[in-house]
Structure 1
Amino acid sequence: MIFSLFLLALIGAAALWLVLDPLRRAAPEDPDAPERARLTAERDRLYGELGMLEDERQRPALERRAALTLRALDALPPAPRANQPGRSRTLAVAGVGVAALLTVAGAVTFIPRWQLASLEPGEAKSVQAVLRLPALKATAQRTGQNDDYLAWGRAAFDSANYDQAVSAYGNALKTDPRQPEALRRLGILLLTRGEQTGTPISAEDAERAALLIRTAAQLAPNEPESQLLLGFALSRFGQDQEALTALERYRTLDPVGRDADDVITSLRARLNQSDPALKLYAESCASCHGASGAGGIGPSLRESGLSRAALRSITVNGKGAMPAYPKLTDAELKLLLDLMEKWQGEG
């Protein structure tokens, strides 16, 4: 940004200098000006006499004198070049044009990127999707190609322009009805339409949404978003265990994905109400170590060979990426340690 402004100021200063330079500088002196003027006048006089000559007997003498005058003019040093305001103004206009072009280019490209750099990654992605949306929509409507409809739908979905996303993905499915991305995103939009419009979804629409999302998961079971949206949908229908399985598979497919953390914690808490140790573990530990301690982002607790004292120290004080839990009561800490030792024994 600073470099672009500096470059623009530099070009503006150069253009101003070129415009004012002819006015600032005096015309250079010509030491041979008197002689040059005398010879020029002589040349013009002789040319005039030759043009009106009536006695041809005088022509050779006049031509000889004219030739000698021209030779004398050619022998003089070249006269210093005067300033060229016209050329300077042309260069100045060109400089201003370049500056304007750089300004427009910066406004269209560099400045938005500089502004995007200050946003969170998710926000920057959304802004970029909004900027691309009109062009992608126009391209898809012009070509009618499946890939163009998908690109339009993806940008609309990422920028929360859900009406356009429905239109784009709907057209994409007309060209190919077995597209997991279009199926699952249309399904989740249909399922959550009530939240967007304030109108409760009908049972028929809910079943249709579930079918779309399940079909997408069957077509692309190894795509993280398939399992993520399937887990969200199943949790809405009260199928907690199936939802948790889908969301844990999502975390396996995308270990850095954090979109399902809150839902996973909620599901684990609901599923483990009858066991206080599992309930506590689900709320505090399962998001990293897995629902059954088999590992995830964090290491497997079932394969751990740590002593009870080491487990207690790491739990209370933390270690590496493992956060500390110093506020656990003695009773809560005992529940967790008993559970981890039990899992170590089971392997």
Structure 2
Amino acid sequence: MIFGLTLFVLVVLAALWLVVQPLRGSVPADPDAPERARLTAERDRLYAELSNLPDEARRPDFERRAALTLRSLDALPPAPPPRERGGRTRTLALTGLALAALVTAAGAVTLVPRWQLASLGAGEAQDVRDVLALPGLRRKAEATGDKGAYLAWGRAAFDSARYAQAVIAYGNALKLDPRQPEALRRLGILLLTRPDAQGQGAQQPSPEEARQAFRLIQAAAGLAPNEPESQLLLGFALARFGQDQGALTALERYRTLDPRGRDADELITAIRARQNETDPGLGVYAANCASCHGPNGQGGLGPNLRASTLSREALRGVIVNGKGAMPAYPNLKPDELNALLDVLERWQKEGQ
């Protein structure tokens, strides 16, 4: 009884604090609001054009511009909360306070059975629901032998980190229909990483198992190239096999398809760091050129270097002396300049 009353008082006090916060004064305006609005409008425009693009040959250019816009948005500091709006805000806050107190009291008195789930974050609560649903989903799949039922079981098992069940469910779904991108890529990544039943740690697959897993992920990306998870898992698989450039391309595409997705950020950073360490020319490029010409030389504020037809000596002259809006870099050491020119010539041969 004492514990229940204590909990009730704590929850009420927390509700009071959260709701009264808006009454404590206004918040400074967002100094980056015009730039944030411009970049958001540009992002939305590019996505609209990508979704209705009549000429597929233009898709890489639009995707590159969208990725650059996203990176610019990411670089802005977080926007402050909205500014207060006088009496109306105070009235709403007080109304919210009354409602919060009422709901809290009702929950404490009636002992709402779901209070424990409500204390979790949205993702954690969904994981709990998925785990609770697994036995029923498994029974339904095994009783009906339906492809959709196996996919539902596999999805719930995968999302709640019950990977052993996910392998069984997705494997059975693929027996019924081998052209299922979700089942292919998720089964592939599970075989490649080999997590244990609780999702902790990983076993090393044999070379043949790894190749088979890679083929599954590639097949899924071929069947559903515009699904963000296809590109995400393809990027992880390519990085696992040391194909950093291909991995970076897939992960950048994932970021274009899912602007809010952040699952690839650490791997993208690690790949770029690896490239800069192993190739001194890329390090020079990242430090001096990437901000204008893009991380892979495909253009941004400056032109696309992969489409350049300048000779090595002409490139050297532009870098050392500058040209037009491009500044000069006369202080580059000879070995740094030669390493940078090697990168630019290689990109010219690779093309766009």
Q: Which amino acid aligns with 1:168?
A: A
**Superposition map of 1:191-210 within 5 A:** 191-193=192-194, 199-210=203-214
User: Which residue number in structure 2 is paired with residue 302 of structure 1?
Assistant: 302
CA displacement 1:94-153 (0-9 Å, x = unmatched): xxxxx9xx64xx304xx245213xx2x543443332233233223323332211211111
Give yes or no for contact 2:180–2:220 (8 Å, CA) kept in 1: yes
For 2:134 and 2:211, the matched residues in 1 are separated by 31
Give yes or no for contact 1:265–1:286 (8 Å, CA) kept in 2: no
The two structures, once aligned, show a CA RMSD in angstroms of 4.2
Please state how far the C-alpha of 1:231 moved relative to its aligned partner: 0.9
Give yes or no for contact 2:193–2:202 (8 Å, CA) kept in 1: no
For 1:284 and 1:133, the matched residues in 2 are separated by 53
| Distance change (3 Å), C-alpha of 1:253 and 1:280 | farther
Q: Is 1:255 aligned with 2:259? A: yes
| Distance change (3 Å), C-alpha of 1:237 and 1:217 | same
For 1:285 and 1:158, the matched residues in 2 are separated by 41
Q: Percent identity?
A: 59
For 1:182 and 1:155, the matched residues in 2 are separated by 12
Please state how far the C-alpha of 1:202 moved relative to its aligned partner: 0.6
CA displacement 1:64-120 (0-9 Å, x = unmatched): xxxxxxxxxxxxxxxxxxxxxxxxxxxxxxxxxxx9xx64xx304xx245213xx2x
| Distance change (3 Å), C-alpha of 1:252 and 1:4 | closer
| Distance change (3 Å), C-alpha of 1:279 and 1:206 | same
| Distance change (3 Å), C-alpha of 1:154 and 1:8 | closer
Higher relative contact order (CA 8 A, sep 6+): 2
User: Which residue number in structure 2 is paired with residue 147 of structure 1?
Assistant: 148
Deviates more, 1:125-134 or 1:171-180: 125-134
Give yes or no for contact 2:192–2:205 (8 Å, CA) kept in 1: yes
For 1:198 and 1:274, the matched residues in 2 are separated by 28
CA displacement 1:28-76 (0-9 Å, x = unmatched): xxxxxxxxxxxxxxxxxxxxxxxxxxxxxxxxxxxxxxxxxxxxxxxxx
Determine helix, strand or coil for the equivalent of 2:296: coil
For 1:130 and 1:283, the matched residues in 2 are separated by 48
| Distance change (3 Å), C-alpha of 1:280 and 1:150 | farther
CA displacement 1:254-302 (0-9 Å, x = unmatched): 1221111111112122223366574377599979x9533658xxxx433
For 1:284 and 1:150, the matched residues in 2 are separated by 49
- Structure 1's unaligned 5+ residue stretches are 10-98, 310-329
User: Which residue number in structure 1 is paired with residue 223 of structure 2?
Assistant: 219
For 1:177 and 1:224, the matched residues in 2 are separated by 20
| Distance change (3 Å), C-alpha of 1:210 and 1:283 | farther
Give yes or no for contact 1:293–1:302 (8 Å, CA) kept in 2: no
| Distance change (3 Å), C-alpha of 1:185 and 1:273 | same
Q: 2:239 aligns with which of 205, 226, 235?
A: 235
- Structure 2's unaligned 5+ residue stretches are 1-99, 304-323
* Bigger Rg, structure 1 or 2: 1
Give yes or no for contact 2:174–2:183 (8 Å, CA) kept in 1: yes
Please state how far the C-alpha of 1:213 moved relative to its aligned partner: 0.6
**Superposition map of 1:1-347 within 5 A:** 3=102, 6-7=105-106, 103=111, 106-108=112-114, 111-116=115-120, 119=121, 121-193=122-194, 199-273=203-277, 278-279=282-283, 291-292=295-296, 300-302=300-302
For 1:238 and 1:215, the matched residues in 2 are separated by 19
TM-score (norm 2): 0.51
Give yes or no for contact 1:244–1:267 (8 Å, CA) kept in 2: yes
Determine helix, strand or coil for the equivalent of 2:277: coil
For 1:199 and 1:248, the matched residues in 2 are separated by 28
| Distance change (3 Å), C-alpha of 1:254 and 1:281 | farther
Give yes or no for contact 1:194–1:200 (8 Å, CA) kept in 2: no
Give yes or no for contact 2:163–2:195 (8 Å, CA) kept in 1: no
Determine helix, strand or coil for the equivalent of 2:225: coil
| Distance change (3 Å), C-alpha of 1:212 and 1:107 | same
Deviates more, 1:121-130 or 1:234-243: 121-130
| Distance change (3 Å), C-alpha of 1:282 and 1:115 | farther
Give yes or no for contact 1:130–1:159 (8 Å, CA) kept in 2: yes
| Distance change (3 Å), C-alpha of 1:258 and 1:203 | same
For 1:140 and 1:2, the matched residues in 2 are separated by 44
Give yes or no for contact 2:118–2:125 (8 Å, CA) kept in 1: no
| Distance change (3 Å), C-alpha of 1:156 and 1:284 | farther
TM-score (norm 1): 0.51
User: How many residues end up aligned between the 2 structures?
Assistant: 219
| Distance change (3 Å), C-alpha of 1:197 and 1:283 | farther
Give yes or no for contact 1:140–1:149 (8 Å, CA) kept in 2: yes
For 2:288 and 2:265, the matched residues in 1 are separated by 11
Determine helix, strand or coil for the equivalent of 1:258: coil
For 2:290 and 2:187, the matched residues in 1 are separated by 31
